[in-house]
Amino acid sequence: MKDKILITGGAGYIGSKLIDIFPNKKKLKIIDSFYYGKQFLKKKKIKCHSENINNKINDKIFKKVKTVVHLAGLANDSTSDLNPNLTVLTNHISTIKLAKQAKRLGVKKFIYASSCSVYGDQDKKLVNENDELRPLTIYALSKASSELEIQNLNSKNFKVISLRFATLFGLSPRMRFDLGINAMTKNVIKNINLIVNGNGKQYRSFVHVRDVAKTILFFINKKSPKIKYSIFNVGSNSLNIRIIDLANKIKKKFKKIKILFNKDQADFRSYRADFSRLNKIFNTAKFMTIEDGVKEIYEYYKYKKINLDNPIYYNLKTMKRKNSTMAKCT
């Protein structure tokens, strides 16, 4: 009997990239609401289930599944703020329910997509996995509370791994232009000035979506007894940067672009994450640089005649347009 891997949110920003690099796609099962389409999945021979994780998931879907990668959820602060009750239901309550169901049905490993946003505002030093969590938004709070509760399900036969992703960027089959670096690169492509919220002095940690997918693949393949810890920051220490420095880095490459400050849209989150724990078992030194990530997006989209403002590339725009209470996938 060949073990299967279930990916929730498989058609999302991270999920689609994970599937893209996954070596044996026949081992995969996908759960997704397919809010942003599933065009890229049509050429992949993968078992897909159109499911809303807020509803009861049929036990049969877990047949032969030994690993669950839980990526589904309402992603980013603005989308989560649109409907806080839905955020709590999707990101917290449904996550706990799914983890308990997986454990009951014999799943051995549960990999949970969390976020470095749980650290909130603490940039005086590098924050590691043992530091206090200070979530400032409903999105970050939903991630932090889910982490704490599913970690209690850890046992000899059920390994829970929480991966706290830095802020993502980069090219993915299900592209997003509502993420910091991606949004700035889109502006460059359209010859629009870069917008920095607040004064730009806030720190943020970044990581390319491909490197996140590779990290997840590493933990899928790593035997549970050899994984010492249950929580990992995912990113690279070299990609901790102030937002204004990020904007200047992009401006340096595209000199005609100016930087404008949106003082009315302050961002109080500021943190620098320490990724040493991950680096001890998985080489983060080769993670893609910001410059290469920007170049990758720019070269891919510069000459394509597509509407980069299409709501399909923006979680919040799609949520508003659909006016729905369904779960989203990151």
Percent of the chain scoring above 70 in pLDDT? 97
Report the amino acid identity of residue 325. Answer: T
Nearest Cα neighbor of 19 from 49, 43, 35 is 43
Report the amino acid identity of residue 46. Answer: I
Q: Give the per-residue pLDDT at 184.
A: 95
Nearest Cα neighbor of 276 from 236, 225, 217, 222 is 236
Q: Which structural domains are found in the chain, ordered by start?
A: 4-172+207-238+273-287+315-322 (3.40.50.720)
- The pair of structure tokens assigned to 138 is 């409903």
Nearest Cα neighbor of 112 from 153, 78, 156 is 153
With a cut of 60, say whether residue 243 has pLDDT above it.
yes
Per-position DSSP letters for 39-97, written without gaps between them: GGGTTS--EEEE--TTSPPPGGGGTTEEEEEE-BS--SHHHHHH-HHHHIIIIIIHHHH
Banded pLDDT at 128 (limits 50, 70, 90): very high
Reported as a single tens digit per residue, the pLDDT across 266-289 is 778 899 999 999 999 999 989 999
Q: Do the bridges between strand 240-242 and strand 203-208 make them parallel or antiparallel, or are there none, so unpaired? A: antiparallel
Distance CA 81, CA 99 (A): 24
Contact present, 67 and 220 (Cβ < 8 Å)? yes
Q: How many CA atoms lie within 13 A of 26 on its CB side?
A: 1
Instruction: State phi, psi for 100 to the nearest 5 degrees.
Output: -65, -40
Contact present, 145 and 93 (Cβ < 8 Å)? no
Tell me the average pLDDT of the chain: 92
Reported as a single tens digit per residue, the pLDDT across 58-104 is 999 999 999 999 999 988 877 888 889 999 999 999 999 999 999 99
Nearest Cα neighbor of 163 from 106, 88, 234, 268 is 234
